Amino acid sequence: EDPRAKHLKELSRRLGEETGEPKWYEMSIEMEKLVYEEIKRNCNVDFYSASLQHYMGIPGDLFTCIFAASRIAGWCAHILEQLDGNKIIRPKANYIGYEERPVIPISER
């Protein structure tokens, strides 16, 4: 479990109570449970940031910008490491998803 996620989860709960709008926290809890049941993975630090940003009055179309801004220092550090070692750092991952899936138009979903 991501130890940072625990703190954001608790903050989301508290802000949900304080704003009188706990549904975003409650939906997050349900999604977290469903995902864990399905793939046995805990959420990371970013999961509860969406409900927190909502509670803070940040418009949804800025969520991605805030996510990216919080990552810039780490991305820059990786670039500096790559330049220093003249080596591209590639994460190890194997795609295990579908090879092909039909695209269903939104109007038919």
Domain boundaries, the chain: 3-93
pLDDT tens for 37-85 read 999 999 888 899 999 999 999 999 999 999 899 899 988 988 888 888 7
Structure tokens at 73: 């220092």
Q: What confidence score (pLDDT) does residue 98 get?
A: 86
Q: How far apart are CA 104 and CA 97, in angstroms?
A: 18
Q: How far apart are CA 6 and CA 11, in angstroms?
A: 9
Entry pTM = 0.67
